[in-house]
Structure 1
Amino acid sequence: MPSSESLRAVREKTVLDHFRDEVRQEWDDVLSTFPHPRYELVPTMTVHDGDTAVRGYYHDTRVAFPDQHHEIIALRHADDAVIVEFWLMGTHQGPLGKIPPTGGSFRVRMTAYFIFEDETLVCERVYFDTLSMLRQLIGGLDRRNPRNWLLMVRCLRGLLAMSGGEPDPALTR
């Protein structure tokens, strides 16, 4: 556990401000919560490191899910982190990488580790089940309706194209 209640309070405020500003899509405010923004997305084995990369991540995810929001389930403190369990929700209105929009919505349970050095946030490391999300986005399509067949094929091709990349070495060491 952090050595003092004041340190815990500072870290918790940073995390809650970060979450609030992400939902508001106030990117400058979110980025102000850490001096060098870094997201590690463990399920996709990708890292977004630095201002430009993180802003690109924000842009891409909000094009795909413009209404993305969350509900915090629990918040816990560790020696070097604040750990948050939450529901992430949104509606697939734009492309998600190479997966075309399906109009489907999702609700996925996630865990984010906000890693700190003293009072300074240095990384948000996120864990979630990508299959649960994809099943909700694609699974809602009526497979019996021929009008959806082309979209389902495009979704499958997009998913296959996205799954062939090399994992970020920072997540495999």
Structure 2
Amino acid sequence: MSRFTLPSEDVLRAREKLVLDHFHDEVRQDWDATLSTFPHPHYELIAQMTVHDGDGEVRDYYQDTRVAFPDQNHEIIAFRHSADAVIVEFWLLGTHGGPLGRIPPTGSRHRTRMTAYFIFDEHENLVTERVYFDQLTILKQLVGGVDRRSPRGLLKLARIVKGILAMSGGAPDPRLLETTPPDFVR
């Protein structure tokens, strides 16, 4: 299929239902249902340059993010179709109630605008969820609720900075670095 040709309306409707079910099941924390939307679960988090590939890695990712944000939810802003993907703009929301990697919980809420590309193969299988967002937007909101005037707040802030520094500087996943530009036929 040409990159200029959209699939049939039936295909677009089926993709849309699958993606909406995926979002709904994530909020309900029904990991079996969420993972069933993929033949092979595969997440790419571009802001962190990390990949979670396969059932085990994706379940661990779900677990880690829900420990950090047990009430994680979303608000869909826009929903678009392309030749091989569904593109969803949404707000991700949550309260930082548990550790986020090495960053201790702040109790602060965040509301972060994101875009996710749900990419389908030629057999209409969901093969990748690729998520774009700004990590600094989240961190600013999490740190913003810390009381910098109290000794306890300053200690928490120091722990947060230590956690951020401990998590920074890791090598990006090479699968996200090896890109091939499209072949533009003129």
CA distance in 2, matches of 1:171, 1:105: 30
Matched, 1:86 2:90: yes
- Determine helix, strand or coil for the equivalent of 2:37: coil
1:3 Cα deviation from its structure 2 partner: 2.1
State the AA in 2 paired with 1:147. Answer: R
State the AA in 1 paired with 2:149. Answer: R
CA distance in 1, matches of 2:7, 2:84: 10
- Determine helix, strand or coil for the equivalent of 2:115: strand
Please, which runs of 5 or more residues in structure 1 have no aligned partner?
A: none
Find the counterpart in structure 2 of residue 161 from structure 1.
Answer: 166
Larger mean Cα displacement after TM superposition, 78-87 or 139-148: 139-148
State the AA in 2 paired with 1:124. Answer: E
Matched, 1:20 2:29: no
1:164 Cα deviation from its structure 2 partner: 1.6
1:22-171 correspondence to structure 2 within 5 Å: 22-118=26-122, 119-171=124-176
1:146 Cα deviation from its structure 2 partner: 1.2
CA distance in 2, matches of 1:2, 1:26: 31
Number of equivalenced pairs: 173
CA distance in 1, matches of 2:158, 2:96: 17
**Larger radius of gyration, structure 1 or 2?**
2
CA distance in 2, matches of 1:32, 1:2: 25
Q: TM-score, with normalisation over the residues of structure 1?
A: 0.98
- Determine helix, strand or coil for the equivalent of 2:63: helix
Q: TM-score, with normalisation over the residues of structure 2?
A: 0.91
- Determine helix, strand or coil for the equivalent of 2:77: strand
1:149 Cα deviation from its structure 2 partner: 1.2
CA distance in 1, matches of 2:68, 2:52: 17
Matched, 1:8 2:12: yes
Q: Write out per-residue CA displacement over residues 29-63 of structure 1, whole angstroms, 9 at most, x where no aligned residue.
A: 00000010000000001000000000000000000
State the AA in 1 paired with 2:77. Answer: I
Runs of 4+ in structure 1 off by over 2 angstroms are none
CA distance in 2, matches of 1:149, 1:4: 57
* Aligned alpha-carbon RMSD (Å): 0.8
